[in-house]
Each structure stands twice: as structure tokens, then as C-alpha cells.
A and B are shown apart, each in its own frame.
Chain A
């Protein structure tokens, strides 16, 4: 059945309820809600959360926004924690102690995934647990107050890579976690975002949840506080991230790359950078080189992706 956002929202009750304390204009809650909607209504889920904005805003004792079972232990180990729950499921199912169908989904921010949780994630993926790890990537440690992470783009102004008079923001490029996960030879890896009525996000979540084995979703989740855009601009920021090819939408199925959206006319990256305060210094006279460098990197990564699609699909 072709995707229809109205039908999905009308027919599938939200399993991530309102009343949580995430900021207005944050990209993570709508993504989480749509991912949870991709579950079959009859299936139970165990959700693991890494410490971060999402966890501390959705499960404050004695309240929870999760209608499925949820577990949070610490910052760096959502994947390991969930792998234990999945092992329990496999063992108990084999022994006839339980008979339901349970799906396993982890949510971690870029700090808890690209940085401190990378080992735990890599281990869980390598061991082949039947689970989905979702990284909601907002490109910095937003929960502790906007510190740079390895997902922070070059030149971004953060509280630990401030744009100063000598050093103009973060000097290093962003780590490409999606490709690191591809290197684990997983059955399904995808990059997505809430765009075009969440079609791409929903369909990828569904594939990831219902592909057997370890799957990984990297979701760009803009942060109004850390990126510095008005809260009502979220969907525009999402759109610009895709249309500039800053955040290409692609999936890798059993090692084969598929780019899901190729803009007919790729927008210059400065359109994505301009509305964000974290890149403000790049638009000062004399700093044109920074925008040029940024564009070069986006172009090179986009070209690499086009090449990978071509190479991996050669018979």
C-alpha cells in the first residue's frame, strides 16, 4: 500500500505520547513518533534510550511518554543494554517462556552514538542482535548545553568549539557514522530525515524494524537551541538539509547503496547554513572561504555517494 501520511497518523495510534518536555521545534520527537508508528499494532516493543535530551525529557519519574516498554541505563550503552534484552527474548522464546512478538529499538543522540556509545553500538551490531539502533543526530551535545561532538559539522560554533577571534568554530569535519555502520555489513543501514510528509523516514523505519538482524537508522534531528533557528522553521531546515545534499537520503541494503532522493537542482549549501546562528560567523566579510570549504566538502561527499551507488550496484 502506498504511503499516505493522513492514513498512517489516523490509523496508527501514537506510541510516543504528548506531554513530554522536548523543545518546540526539535527534530527528534516527530522522528521518534513516526518510527514508533512504523511498528505493527499487534507487536510489542522494547525501546532503549541513551542518556540525552530524548531520555531526560520523555521519562521523568513518575511519568513516561512511551506506551511500549522502555529502558534507560546510561549514556554510552543503549545498544548493549538493548542487546541484553534481545538476548533475553531469544532465550526465553526458545524455552517457551514467552510467546509474543517483540521488536527492539534503541534511540541515542549523536553524543551517545558517534562518540561515547560507538563501542557499545559496534559490538551490538557485530553480534547480530535483531534490533534497530536509531541515532537522532543533532550535531552536538545539546542536553549538556551545545558542546561539540564528532557529528558537529566543520566551522559550527558550539560551547566547546566557540567561534573565536583566532579559531573560527569547530576545525574538524564531521564523522560519517552511517558509512561506519555500512562497514559492519549490516542487512540495512539508512540515512533519513522528516521530509516530504515523513514518507522516507516512515518507510525506512518500517524496513529497519522488520528486516531481521541488526539495522541502523541515522536521522538528522535539527535543534533550535543548538543550531539557532526559529522553532517554526524546523521543517524548512529539514528540507534545506536534503535539497543542499548536506544530508542525503540513502539506504544500504546488504551492501548495495541506493540514493532515495536526488534533487533536480542541488541548492547551494549556504542556504542551509544561513538561517542557523551556529554558522553566523561564516557570513562575515572575509570569511567567504569558509562557505567555499563547506561547499567543497558537501560536494565531495555527495559525489562519493553517487560513486558508491554506482559501484555497489554493478553486477
Chain B
């Protein structure tokens, strides 16, 4: 029987880490992810895990230590947010290039500047091309479930890539909600033991890791990383199937909420999906065929699948909780619309940048997006596809 609990998103992530019992956790405090290493160091102090906790002096060292530990043959995990991830950035790329299946819990927060500790997705978007698998979580349950699935995906022999699980700072990380936990023994069996093929601590087969990789080789090595990312798609679905067998909870690349017969829909990630579902239900009662595509797997990007799921719509709005500051729209918008273009799905599409720096995302805001979509359907025109909602009007 599963265990019913009430946990915050950070507690959920830390609980999953405790059940996974990694060999090494190296982490550095930063709001709003600080609680994760706090909880974890308590587990270490009380002997409820076998892990070695490395209380590093920066996030750069956190990721460096995770790389050293994982290359040595250990399972290594960490957690961070915003500027912490920015400071790790150099090592984030090195972790994926060394094909080390490190698992990171990213509690999304606005990247400075100016300084802001609240939620948006600018931290995650800054590493979207780094070769990490990126899973997004609507709530504490998904943050927990994604963490339990992480190692099976990351360590798979056809993948061997690091993986980050995203959840919204404060909105998810600090809100206590009901959660269903899997029993320790079942988690242990599901995650399995880690047996790397080559590792530094194997004295029978010393290895050298992280060479100078010149013009004759780097391109091939990068192509192998790209191949691994493509392979991850299949593995993510396989692991989700096994997870469903264990828990009854179903996961795919994305969740389609009342999307099948929808005429207008929103695409978004993380906690905004919860608010959107509420709005969709209300609109459906009014007879409006509204739907939602909540993206779970942002990297690898399931382009064809998304295009197919959205192709029948009369209009679609893509919500970005980070601005790309490129004068054309957010990263999710560009990925989704280019996927649709390539798949020849011509649906009028509009982008909304929203929730920056923790700006509240209200049901009314989401409802207004659907109203805009209905206008687009009526007029057949998309004027200014790069929009904001929740931005305060300038007071005169």
C-alpha cells in the first residue's frame, strides 16, 4: 500500500532522494531549494541514508563534486535554483559531455538581475541547450514521481545523460499538499543498484576522463550526446510504463487535458498547468471547447508528438515563464511553433510571457488568454504574437 502524506515540494524531492539513497550529495544553499540539502543533511546526520553529504562552498563546486563523484562510480545528486544554476553553468555542460547521469533537483526561480528570489523559469531556460534531460513537474507529487524515475532514465546504457527535475519555487516547493509516497522497499527495487561500466575507482581498469578533445574528435563526441538525447525519448516512456505498473500513475512526454476535442488550447509547464485545468473546467461548463497541453519532458523535446497533439486546434497559446529577450518570444513558443511548422500543422499560435519574478498567475489571466484565442479563431488573424499577461500597466 502506498503511503498518504502531506509534504511540500522540497520535502517531496528530499524524500525521494532519501529513498534513492545516493552515494554522494553535494549541495549549496540557495532560496528556494535550500530545504532540500537541509533535509538531506538531517538524513545523513541521523544515519537514515548511506550517503556522504559534501557541504561545498559554492554551486560551481557542487556540480564539480557531483561530476567527480559520479565519474568515480557513485550515484551523485544535488539541488539548486536560479543563480546557483547560473554559477554551475560551466560544469552543467561538462557533466553532460562526460555522460555522467547526475540528478539535479531544480527549484525554479528568476535568475538575477535585479535580485529576485521568486519563481519563473529563466534558470531552466538558461541551460536548455546543455544536453541535460529536463523534466517539469506540476506539483509535489510529480516532483516526487519524476525524481523516482530519474536514475532509471539517466543511467540507461543508451542514454547516460544527466537529468534535472524542475518544480516551481515557492508555489510548489513551499506549498504543502497531499502526496502519495511509494514504500521504501519498492523504490529501492524500482530504482535498482548502479553499476557503471567504467569508473575512476576501479583499480583494475584505470581510466582518464575529460581530455583535451581537438578538432578531429569533438564533433563526433557531440554527435554521440545528441544521439543519447534522441534515445532518451524511448527510455523515458519505458520507465514511465514501469512506474505506472508500480503506482498506477501515468506519465508521458506531456499531459493532454481535455485536449482531444478542444478548439483552443494552452501549452505550459509546471504549476501554471494546475491553474489552467481549473479554468478549462470552468470554460467547458460554459460550452467552450478549451484544452491544455502540459509539457513534462522539455528536453528531449517531443516535437512531432506535440505537433500531432495540437494539430487539430483552431488556435493555440504557448505560455513562457521566461522571456528570451530576443524580440520574438519565449523559448517554449519557438520550440512548439517550429515543431508545428516542420510537421506542417498550421495552427494560429500566440505567445504569452508571464509570471516573471514570481508575478502571480491568476485564473482570470488564464481565462483572458482563452478569450484572446477565441478572438483569434473568429478573426483568423494573429496580431502581435509576442505578448505579456500580468504586466502592470504604466500609471500616468
Inter-subunit contact A69/B207 (CB<8 Å): yes
Q: A72-B211, A73-B67 are in contact. Are A88 and B76 (CB under 8 A)?
A: yes
Cα distance, A85 to B60, chains bound together (Å)? 15
Inter-subunit contact A84/B209 (CB<8 Å): no
- Could you say which residues of chain A place their CB within 8 Å of the CB of B61? 77, 80, 83, 119-120, 123-124
Judge whether B50 is part of the interface by a CB distance below 8 angstroms: yes
- Could you say which residues of chain A place their CB within 8 Å of the CB of B202? 69
Cα distance, A86 to B73, chains bound together (Å)? 11
Judge whether A218 is part of the interface by a CB distance below 8 angstroms: no
- Could you say which residues of chain A place their CB within 8 Å of the CB of B72? 46, 84-85, 88-89, 92
Of the 9-residue stretches B51-59, B259-267, B387-395, which lies at the interface with chain A?
A: B51-59
State which of B58, B210, B214, B217 has its C-beta within 8 Å of the C-beta of A73. Answer: B210
**What 1/0 mask marks residues of chain A from 204 to 233 whose CB sits below 8 Å from any chain B CB?**
000000000000000000000000000000
Judge whether A76 is part of the interface by a CB distance below 8 angstroms: yes
- Could you say which residues of chain B place their CB within 8 Å of the CB of A87? 24, 26, 52, 54, 65, 68-69, 74
Inter-subunit contact A84/B201 (CB<8 Å): no
**What 1/0 mask marks residues of chain B from 80 to 93 whose CB sits below 8 Å from any chain A CB?**
00000000001100
Inter-subunit contact A127/B55 (CB<8 Å): yes
**What 1/0 mask marks residues of chain B from 159 to 189 whose CB sits below 8 Å from any chain A CB?**
0000000000000000000000000000000
State which of A70, A74, A76 has its C-beta within 8 Å of the C-beta of B209. Answer: A70
Inter-subunit contact A91/B65 (CB<8 Å): no
Q: A67-B206, A76-B60 are in contact. Are A90 and B52 (CB under 8 A)?
A: yes
Judge whether B94 is part of the interface by a CB distance below 8 angstroms: yes
Cα distance, A247 to B50, chains bound together (Å)? 45
Inter-subunit contact A60/B208 (CB<8 Å): no
Question: Nearest chain B CB to A211's CB is how many angstroms away?
Answer: 21
Cα distance, A80 to B66, chains bound together (Å)? 9
Inter-subunit contact B24/A77 (CB<8 Å): no
Inter-subunit contact B212/A84 (CB<8 Å): no
Judge whether B213 is part of the interface by a CB distance below 8 angstroms: yes
Cα distance, A34 to B210, chains bound together (Å)? 24
- Could you say which residues of chain A place their CB within 8 Å of the CB of B197? none
Judge whether B64 is part of the interface by a CB distance below 8 angstroms: yes
State which of B51, B201, B208, B212 has its C-beta within 8 Å of the C-beta of A56. Answer: B212
- Could you say which residues of chain A place their CB within 8 Å of the CB of B94? 73-74
Chain A residue nearest to B193 in the complex (CB): A97
- Could you say which residues of chain B place their CB within 8 Å of the CB of A72? 209-211
Inter-subunit contact B201/A92 (CB<8 Å): yes
**What 1/0 mask marks residues of chain A from 45 to 84 whose CB sits below 8 Å from any chain B CB?**
0101000000110011110101111111110110011111
Q: A60-B214, A72-B211, A98-B73 are in contact. Are A88 and B206 (CB under 8 A)?
A: no
Cα distance, A125 to B174, chains bound together (Å)? 34
Residue among B58, B72, B94, B211 with most chain A CB within 10 A: B72
Question: Nearest chain B CB to A134's CB is how many angstroms away?
Answer: 17
Chain B residue nearest to A94 in the complex (CB): B50
Which range contains the number of A residues in contact with the other chain?
A: 35 or more
**What 1/0 mask marks residues of chain A from 91 to 108 whose CB sits below 8 Å from any chain B CB?**
110110110101000000
Cα distance, A81 to B94, chains bound together (Å)? 12
Q: A84-B26, A84-B54, A120-B60 are in contact. Are A73 and B68 (CB under 8 A)?
A: yes
Question: Nearest chain B CB to A310's CB is how many angstroms away?
Answer: 34
Cα distance, A80 to B51, chains bound together (Å)? 17
Inter-subunit contact B201/A80 (CB<8 Å): no
- Could you say which residues of chain A place their CB within 8 Å of the CB of B26? 84, 87
- Could you say which residues of chain A place their CB within 8 Å of the CB of B57? 119-120, 122-123, 126
Judge whether B256 is part of the interface by a CB distance below 8 angstroms: no
State which of B23, B52, B64, B70 has its C-beta within 8 Å of the C-beta of A80. Answer: B64
Inter-subunit contact B64/A95 (CB<8 Å): no
- Could you say which residues of chain B place their CB within 8 Å of the CB of A33? none
Inter-subunit contact A61/B213 (CB<8 Å): yes
Judge whether B200 is part of the interface by a CB distance below 8 angstroms: yes
Inter-subunit contact A60/B91 (CB<8 Å): no
Inter-subunit contact A92/B74 (CB<8 Å): yes
Residue among A83, A84, A124, A127 with most chain B CB within 10 A: A84
Judge whether B203 is part of the interface by a CB distance below 8 angstroms: yes
Q: A60-B214, A74-B90, A95-B50 are in contact. Are A88 and B209 (CB under 8 A)?
A: no
Inter-subunit contact A84/B211 (CB<8 Å): no
Chain A residue nearest to B65 in the complex (CB): A84
Judge whether A258 is part of the interface by a CB distance below 8 angstroms: no
State which of A69, A82, A86, A91 has its C-beta within 8 Å of the C-beta of B50. Answer: A91
Judge whether B71 is part of the interface by a CB distance below 8 angstroms: yes
- Could you say which residues of chain A place their CB within 8 Å of the CB of B66? 84
Judge whether A239 is part of the interface by a CB distance below 8 angstroms: no
Chain B residue nearest to A83 in the complex (CB): B65
Question: Nearest chain A CB to B40's CB is how many angstroms away?
Answer: 13
- Could you say which residues of chain B place their CB within 8 Å of the CB of A61? 211-214, 217
Cα distance, A55 to B209, chains bound together (Å)? 11
Chain B residue nearest to A82 in the complex (CB): B68
Question: Nearest chain A CB to B38's CB is how many angstroms away?
Answer: 18
Cα distance, A55 to B211, chains bound together (Å)? 8
Question: Nearest chain A CB to B53's CB is how many angstroms away?
Answer: 8
State which of A44, A80, A94, A100 has its C-beta within 8 Å of the C-beta of B68. Answer: A80
State which of A64, A88, A90, A127 has its C-beta within 8 Å of the C-beta of B208. Answer: A64
Inter-subunit contact B64/A120 (CB<8 Å): yes
Question: Nearest chain A CB to B79's CB is how many angstroms away?
Answer: 15
Which A-B residue pairs are the 9 nearest by beta carbons? A84-B68, A84-B65, A123-B57, A44-B203, A88-B74, A80-B61, A80-B64, A88-B72, A84-B69
Given A69-B209, A71-B67, A87-B24, 6 more A-B residue pairs with CB atoms under 8 Å apart are: A74-B94, A81-B68, A83-B65, A84-B65, A86-B68, A92-B74
**16 interchain pairs, CB-CB under 8 A:** A44-B206, A46-B201, A61-B211, A61-B217, A64-B208, A66-B208, A71-B68, A73-B67, A76-B60, A80-B68, A84-B24, A85-B68, A98-B201, A119-B58, A120-B57, A120-B58
